[in-house]
């Protein structure tokens, strides 16, 4: 099963409503551009690669309704504005529009579906390759000493964040399938709890040993030798190797650096923004609603889904959704073409055509 698929009617697009996990597994059908934009904006789908694939299918739904170019340009603009940080969104829309602008009006809808399918298939293949390359890093630790390899991950960069496999979790799945004894510390990932709700759910379904921890705990675990490797995904990587990822990633990178723990960022090349250099200055950081901090949703003892406020009614909240980890704190990038240093030189060696 993938996270996004074409429905049997050949037009509508199916997704998993990730806001309902881990308590309910609910598939949702997207029939219009507006529904696709809503799914991205309201985070029914999230994760940079899946945002890109959903935007691509959003343009298919737009082309099905009106294949004229002005309508498609407006659709592209609408989708581009849904979320600001993940560069895969702009990348997928640009790729789709390049193809659609070169296609006759009458052929645009089928051409859009074909291109979106290619984007989805390529993402799955790239993530599988990331899994194979990243697994060698886990295997290297396992060869160095006996016992379980302990990884730490932040947010959800798994199957659910991509079309299939995941980015940061792909190497973990590959290593687990190869029989390695591993265990994953899962950062809860406040305020939206993607670690507690999505990563824990994914790893549990795949039988990968894991433990959910508060985001605050990772530094302490690293100080006490309980983390061998940190693997995270990214929403945007600059050509210098700076990494925008879920808020709090930077704090884990600092702790990894302070304790000599390797810190790797797994990304398909669609997440690399070759136009940007300095991530802290240049990557736009989404500010989300403060209610995501103030109000927490979960399952009550009686099985109902309920939301509870944890802050005083009168206290304001702020909610920056991403932060930027400078390249100097990143041990390496894991891409579909292999591992490289988080630097212009490292990226250039793997992607000479782009860098």
Distance CA 182, CA 348 (A): 32
Distance CA 236, CA 255 (A): 21
Rank residues 107 and 216 by Cβ distance to its own copies and give the closer one.
216
Burial class (CB in 10 A: 0-12, 13-18, 19+), 8: exposed
Beta carbon of residue 297, minimum distance to its own copies (angstroms, whole number): 7
Q: Which of 26, 81, 214, 345 binds its own copies (CB under 8 A)?
A: 214
Beta carbon of residue 46, minimum distance to its own copies (angstroms, whole number): 16
Among left, alpha and beta (phi > 0; psi -120 to 50; other), residue 177 is alpha
260: contact with its own copies by CB under 8 A: no
- The site string for its own copies over 220-259 (x = CB under 8 A, - otherwise) reads xx-xx---------------------xxx-xxx-xx--x-
Which strand (E) or helix (H) includes residue 14?
A: strand 13-16
Rank residues 59 and 227 by Cβ distance to its own copies and give the closer one.
227
List 123, 164, 215, 235, catalytic entry = 235
What does the DSSP 8-state code read for residue 32? S
Beta carbon of residue 177, minimum distance to its own copies (angstroms, whole number): 20
Two structure tokens written together for 30: 């997207």
For the chain, how far is it from start to end, CA to CA, in angstroms?
A: 34
Concatenating the DSSP letter of every residue in 222-270 gives: HHTT--SEEEE--SEEETT--EEEETTHHHHHHHHHHTT--EEEE--GG
Q: Which of 191, 233, 268, 332 binds its own copies (CB under 8 A)?
A: 191
173: contact with its own copies by CB under 8 A: no
Long-range contacts for 70-73 (Cβ within 8 Å, ≥24 apart)?
72/97, 72/100, 72/108, 73/97
Q: By CB under 8 A, what part of segment 262-281 binds its own copies?
A: 280
Q: By CB under 8 A, what part of segment 286-305 binds its own copies?
A: 290, 293-301, 305
Rank residues 244 and 267 by Cβ distance to its own copies and give the closer one.
244
Q: Which of 206, 276, 212 is nearest to 244 (CA)?
A: 276
Distance CA 226, CA 221 (A): 5
Q: By CB under 8 A, what part of segment 320-339 binds its own copies?
A: 320, 322-324
306: contact with its own copies by CB under 8 A: yes
207: contact with its own copies by CB under 8 A: no
310: contact with its own copies by CB under 8 A: yes
Q: How far is CA 248 from CA 101, 111, 320, in A?
A: 40, 40, 10
Distance CA 99, CA 284 (A): 27
Task: Let me know if 187 is a catalytic residue.
Answer: no
Q: Which of 102-110, 160-168, 202-210, 334-342 is the region at the interface with its own copies (rule: CB under 8 A)? A: 202-210
285: contact with its own copies by CB under 8 A: yes
Q: Hey, how many other C-beta atoms are within 10 angstroms of the C-beta on 29?
A: 11
Distance CA 226, CA 215 (A): 15
Q: By CB under 8 A, what part of segment 3-42 binds its own copies?
A: 22
For its own copies (CB under 8 A), the number of binding residues is 67
Rank residues 126 and 249 by Cβ distance to its own copies and give the closer one.
249
For its own copies, the binding residues (CB under 8 A) are 22, 185-186, 188-191, 193, 196-197, 200-201, 203-204, 210-221, 223-224, 246-248, 250-252, 254-255, 258, 280, 285, 290, 293-301, 305-312, 314-320, 322-324
Active-site residue list: 235
């Amino acid at each position: 099963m993938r996270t996004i698929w074409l429905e049997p009617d050949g037009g509508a697009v199916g997704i998993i409503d990730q806001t309902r996990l881990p308590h309910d597994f609910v598939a949702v059908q997207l029939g219009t551009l507006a529904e696709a934009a809503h799914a991205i904006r309201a985070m029914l789908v999230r994760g940079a690669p899946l945002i890109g694939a959903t935007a691509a299918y959003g343009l298919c739904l737009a082309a099905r309704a009106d294949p004229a170019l002005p309508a498609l340009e407006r659709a592209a603009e609408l989708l581009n504005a849904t979320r600001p940080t993940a560069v895969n969104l702009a990348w997928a829309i640009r790729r789709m529009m390049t193809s659609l602008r070169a296609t006759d009006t009458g052929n645009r809808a089928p051409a859009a579906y074909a291109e979106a399918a290619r984007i989805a298939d390529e993402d799955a293949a790239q993530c599988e390759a990331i899994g194979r390359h990243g697994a060698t890093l886990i295997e290297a630790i396992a060869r160095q000493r006996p016992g379980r390899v302990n990884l730490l991950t932040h947010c959800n960069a798994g199957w659910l964040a991509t079309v299939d496999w995941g980015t940061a979790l792909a190497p973990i799945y590959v290593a687990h399938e190869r029989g390695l004894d591993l265990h994953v510390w899962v950062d809860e990932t406040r305020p939206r709890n993607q670690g507690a709700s999505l990563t824990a759910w994914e790893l549990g379904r795949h039988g990968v040993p894991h433990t959910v921890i508060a985001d605050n705990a990772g530094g302490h675990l690293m100080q006490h030798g309980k983390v061998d490797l940190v693997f995270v995904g990214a929403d945007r990587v600059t050509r210098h190797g700076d990494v925008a990822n879920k808020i709090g990633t930077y704090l884990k990178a600092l702790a990894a650096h302070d304790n000599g723990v390797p810190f790797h960022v797994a990304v398909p090349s669609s997440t690399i923004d070759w136009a940007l250099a300095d991530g802290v200055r240049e990557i736009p950081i989404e500010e989300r609603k403060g209610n995501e901090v103030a109000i927490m949703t979960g399952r009550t003892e009686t099985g109902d889904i309920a939301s509870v406020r944890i802050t005083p009614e009168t206290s304001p909240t702020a909610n920056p959704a991403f932060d930027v980890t400078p390249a100097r704190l990143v041990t390496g990038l894991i891409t579909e073409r292999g591992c490289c240093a988080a630097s212009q030189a490292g990226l250039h060696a793997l992607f000479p055509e782009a860098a």
